[in-house]
Amino acid sequence: MNERQLSRRLQLVATYVPKGAKTADIGSDHAYLPCYLCLTDETATAIAGEVNEGPYQSAQSQVRQSGLTERVSVRKGNGLAVIEAQDGVDVVTVAGMGGALITTILAEGKDKLTNVSRLILQPNVSASTIRLWLDQNGWTLKAEEIIEEDDKIYEILVADHGENKSLYETNKEQKMLLGPFLMDECNEAFQKKWTYEKINWERILTQFEKATETVELKEKKEELKKKIEMVKEVVK
């Protein structure tokens, strides 16, 4: 992977960035995504944000090598702290982290999102945590992707500012867990992911059945049973 040839998951992230947008890529690592966006769209500009010194230096080096120092600003800081009000950021991308961490980044930097129109988020796990945060904070899912790459399954969530009350009008809990758009498509990667999860939950449930019953254990069992049934309704 490099600034001209992204991994498939980052390529998908890039396809949802509108032409001419200013993108802040949080946790940018080598700044491959910001560089790619600017190399493929001469009207694009970007910010590459990194909290750790090593990746920050790597990003600076990559931007220099790509001849993009005038269009990609590399900044060191925690999460959305690298964004300033005068930057005019249109899109924020966060890829390659856990869903809980991405949610924390969004929540702690919520004031930096006032004028941002789109979030493109690629959690490695716990996408449902992000869906819930988006729904509770005035963001609406516009698209979702799920792919398998290098024996790992990744989800990509695209959300725009504004509410869409009809999105979770029915089966909200199931849609939060599985993804409303991903459920509809139910592609091979989706089926593989949730078949594995269901088998794992069934295994845990079997172990729970052998344990001494407590109020807490009963609640955990009911929660697992509910999740298993939600998956069964979609993945046959």
- The band of 3, judged by pLDDT with boundaries at 50, 70 and 90, is low
pLDDT tens digits, one per residue of 83-119: 998 999 999 999 999 999 999 999 999 999 999 999 9
Q: What is the pLDDT of residue 228?
A: 96
141 in Cβ contact with 157 (< 8 Å): yes
pLDDT value for 202:
95
Domain boundaries, the chain: 8-167, 189-234
Residue with tokens 């009963």: 218
pLDDT at 148 (0 to 100): 96
- Looking at residue 1, its pLDDT comes to 56
What's the pLDDT band for 128 if we cut at 50, 70, 90? very high
Q: Which CATH number is 8-167 given?
A: 3.40.50.150
14/44 Cα distance (integer angstroms): 12
Q: State pLDDT tens for residues 170-228.
A: 999 999 999 999 999 999 999 999 999 999 999 999 998 888 889 999 899 999 999 99
**Does pLDDT of 163 surpass 80?**
no
Q: What whole-number distance in Å separates Cα of residue 35 and Cα of residue 72?
A: 7
pLDDT tens for residues 21-70?
999 999 998 999 999 999 999 999 999 999 999 999 999 999 999 999 99
pLDDT band at 2 (very low <50, low <70, confident <90, very high): low
